[in-house]
Structure 1
Amino acid sequence: MRYSKLWVPFVILFFLHGCRSTAQTDKKGGGAPEPCTFSNPAADGQDPWVIKKDGFYYYLESSGGELYVSKNRDLTQLKEDEQKVWAQPDTGWNRSNLWAPELHYLDGKWYIYYTAGNTDGSPFIRQRSGVLESKTDDPQGEYIDKGMLYTGDDIQNKTETKWAIDLTPLEIDGQLYAVWSGWEKNEDTDRTPQHLYIAEMENPWTISSNRVIISSPEKSWETGTELAINEGLQILKNKKGDVFVIYSASESWLPAYNLGQLRLTEHDPMHPDHWEKKGPVFKGTPEVYGVGHASFTTSPDGSEHWIAYHTKVSPDPGWNRVVHLQPFEWNEDGSPHFGVPVSAGKSIEKPSGECE
């Protein structure tokens, strides 16, 4: 009995070591599992749009005049199971320059808002905003083109639709609004300042009021060195329902591209004085250039908030860009706190609930 008692500690240690070793192997018993981390860039491309619904992430992008929707349960796998859903027509107002599409679920249907024009290449002076409506409940299914959205100043006669890009819907207490980046008047040059506008919508494909400016590029971080720009806007709401417009400022082709913020301070979003400006709320670093045009979602288990945005691959002028992902927090006043953009190649913990 004396020798048996002496062996007890060694038996316990052996047993614990065996349990620990088993926990460190993967399900197939082939060694330690992969770390629950990833690194940016998460994908090639620009103007990232990701939406989460019913446990799936849907990622929308344009390529070669076509729109593709991807579907995955993991946020960090943006372009898995990619399906083409629409192609530009050969003729018409939207035959060329397909930009910045967004996928939204409104009134029980999927809608895609997009920017296009009828001129090939630059100058980009004919850009307008259009909308597609899904034929089925599947966001990767077929869509019908509902046409160009009216973004002018004569809603009664709908004359002279003004230059408009990056249109996104905003819903407040059952009323739908359209918010976008546009010009005060149509010009013969794309070296024209861009403002943020809002208008009421009758339904997801019909604007029903004249536009109102809610932001102009006036601050030093918006005016840039070559052109004053407000664009790439997205809606972000906190748990209390506070409404924010997070938008891109300065020139997208330069490292100074950054994010600004508008906060709705009163109920009526059609009143310019009800929007409070702050910025920059997210900007580049010596290693990360030209952060902008973001979209927002949550982790698979809903416990974390994440931002998807694009960055330039070099500080040189141009539009060679990639997509980054990272989590963000909230300030005490309810506004988003995006922190500092994480450098490419640096390890980041995957979204909560993505790893088993």
Structure 2
Amino acid sequence: MRRQKSGVFFHSTQACFASLLLVFFAACGQEQTFTNPIRDGADPWVYQKDGSYYYSMSTGNGIAVSVSPKLTEQGTPVQVWKAPETGWNRASIWAPEIHFFDGHWYIYYAAGKEPGTPFIHQRSGVLKSVGPDPLGAYEDLGMLYTGDHYPDPQSIKWAIDLSPVTIQGQLYAVWSGWEDNQPTDKTPQHLYIAKMCNPETVCSNRVKLSSPDQPWETGGPLDLNEGPQVLSQDGETFIIYSTRESWLTEYRLGQLKLKEPGLDPLDPDNWVKSGPVFEGTEQVLGVGHCSFATSPDGSEHWLLYHSKKSAKPGWDRDIRLQPFSWDASGNPVFGVPVPAGMPLPLPSGETE
């Protein structure tokens, strides 16, 4: 259940946190500012490479990519792929992520063979750029394996939010999925991990890493874990994920941490859960589905996430950006969501 907070204390905490951010950046010579939200949309994804930020997003019934030197401005989206008229991925294109491996760009996304509810057909797929241009043509490489009887394609299970991650030099896929395919989308979601042999192939059975089993993950109409993103710092590995219902104000972030560097990430006992590590306030509602980047000069860590525009149930959301820090134990500290309209210093190295 959502914890109740004293209004006076809570607003004071928000104000103090935002003031500390301004003081910190002022001390670093940062004077130019921006305000949240930075744009409409949901499921924000950014990939940082060679001084540029690459953003991917659903657009119509396809996927668009944009390139920008700034974290606060995504640039002009260019549609790079349109869903086919028939097939498993013709509808409901969700949460695309763009990544770069071995001279090619890859886009990982979820889609279904039928539009609209119930969303029971969602599977994960991957696109590969034909050449080195992230805004150029992409080849559809098909559905990724997300089941329990590799490599039987008939055993593939419902899967969304798949993200490729490198842990200790090995490539893995992490995603949100169902234990079994069901005739209703009112089905609990769990976090899974599997080994990848290359950027276009999941080549092992899935392993369940997390279920919504903590008090701060439950209490609503549907328990879920989704949107996993790996965050690494000083040899430590974290999976930051979203929990509670995405269409409600209680949407928030939880954390899995690999207990020690070098442990096998495919062993669920090697991960420890904590949370919530980031949750909404009376002014910023339903925060979740994040991604991470550093400032243009590499000196700061930034959190990109979406939030609800109103308390009304639904998926009308906008995208926000704010810095985060690390504690003495090496854990990320995301702080409190900064209210809309409150000035934040531009990421270090970014100028208007």
- TM-score w.r.t. the length of structure 1 is 0.88
Question: Aligned residue for 1:23?
Answer: none
1:201 to 196, 199, 205: 196
Q: Distance in 1 between matches of 2:219 and 2:305?
A: 20
Q: Distance in 1 between matches of 2:128 and 2:85?
A: 20
2:249 to 225, 250, 255: 255
The amino acid that maps onto 1:246 is I
Q: Give 1:108 shift.
A: 2.8
Which string of whole-angstrom CA distances, capped at 9 and with x for unpartnered residues, describes residues 325-356 of structure 1? Answer: 00000111111100000111111100001127
Q: Distance in 2 between matches of 1:263 and 1:157?
A: 31
1:352 to 328, 348, 351: 348
Q: Give 1:81 shift.
A: 2.7
Which string of whole-angstrom CA distances, capped at 9 and with x for unpartnered residues, describes residues 5-44 of structure 1? Answer: xxxxxxxxxxxxxxxxxxxxxxxxxxxxxx6101011011
2:126 to 119, 126, 131: 131
CA contact (8 A) 1:165 1:181 kept: yes
Q: Give 1:84 shift.
A: 1.1
Which is bigger in relative contact order (C-alpha 8 A, separation at least 6)?
2
CA contact (8 A) 1:310 1:324 kept: yes
The amino acid that maps onto 1:152 is G
CA contact (8 A) 1:231 1:247 kept: yes
Question: Aligned residue for 2:95?
Answer: 100
Secondary structure at the residue paired with 1:184? coil
Question: Aligned residue for 1:31?
Answer: none
Q: Distance in 2 between matches of 1:49 and 1:156?
A: 29
Which segment drifts farther, 100-109 or 126-135? 100-109
Are the structure 2 counterparts of residues 135 and 224 from structure 1 closer, same or farther at C-alpha, using a change threshold of 3 Å?
farther
Q: Give 1:172 shift.
A: 1.9
Question: Aligned residue for 2:41?
Answer: 45
Which string of whole-angstrom CA distances, capped at 9 and with x for unpartnered residues, describes residues 49-96 of structure 1? Answer: 011111111111101112111111111112x23211111000000000
Question: Aligned residue for 1:317?
Answer: 313
Give structure 2 stretches of 5+ with no counterpart: 1-30
Q: Distance in 1 between matches of 2:218 and 2:189?
A: 10
1:58 aligns with 2:54: yes
The amino acid that maps onto 1:184 is E
1:272 aligns with 2:268: yes
The amino acid that maps onto 1:237 is S
CA contact (8 A) 2:59 2:79 kept: no
- Report the structure number with the largest CA radius of gyration: 1
1:300 aligns with 2:293: no
Q: Give 1:298 shift.
A: 0.6
Question: Aligned residue for 2:32?
Answer: 36
CA contact (8 A) 1:165 1:182 kept: yes
Question: Aligned residue for 2:207?
Answer: 212
Q: Give 1:178 shift.
A: 0.7
Provide runs of 4+ in structure 1 moved above 2 Å. Answer: 156-160
For these two proteins, the number of residue pairs brought into alignment is: 321
Secondary structure at the residue paired with 1:273? helix
Question: Aligned residue for 1:232?
Answer: 227
Question: Aligned residue for 1:174?
Answer: 169
Which string of whole-angstrom CA distances, capped at 9 and with x for unpartnered residues, describes residues 252-288 of structure 1? Answer: 0000000000001142000000111010000000000
1:82 aligns with 2:77: yes
1:337 aligns with 2:333: yes
Residue pairs, 1:123-162, within 5 angstroms: 123-162=118-157
The amino acid that maps onto 2:142 is G
Q: Distance in 2 between matches of 1:259 and 1:308?
A: 12
Q: Give 1:147 shift.
A: 0.5
Which string of whole-angstrom CA distances, capped at 9 and with x for unpartnered residues, describes residues 153-185 of structure 1? Answer: 110433321000000011123311111000000
Q: Distance in 1 between matches of 2:153 and 2:82?
A: 27
Secondary structure at the residue paired with 1:323? strand
Question: Aligned residue for 2:235?
Answer: 241
Q: Distance in 1 between matches of 2:101 and 2:222?
A: 35
Q: Distance in 1 between matches of 2:320 and 2:152?
A: 43
Q: Distance in 2 between matches of 1:99 and 1:159?
A: 22
The amino acid that maps onto 1:294 is C
Q: Distance in 2 between matches of 1:257 and 1:172?
A: 27
CA contact (8 A) 2:288 2:307 kept: yes
Q: Give 1:302 shift.
A: 0.6
CA contact (8 A) 1:224 1:256 kept: no
CA contact (8 A) 2:145 2:151 kept: no
Which string of whole-angstrom CA distances, capped at 9 and with x for unpartnered residues, describes residues 208-266 of structure 1? Answer: 1111100000012112310000001111111x121110000000000000000000114
Q: Distance in 2 between matches of 1:260 and 1:106?
A: 28
The amino acid that maps onto 2:59 is S
- TM-score w.r.t. the length of structure 2 is 0.89
| Identity of matched residues, % | 59
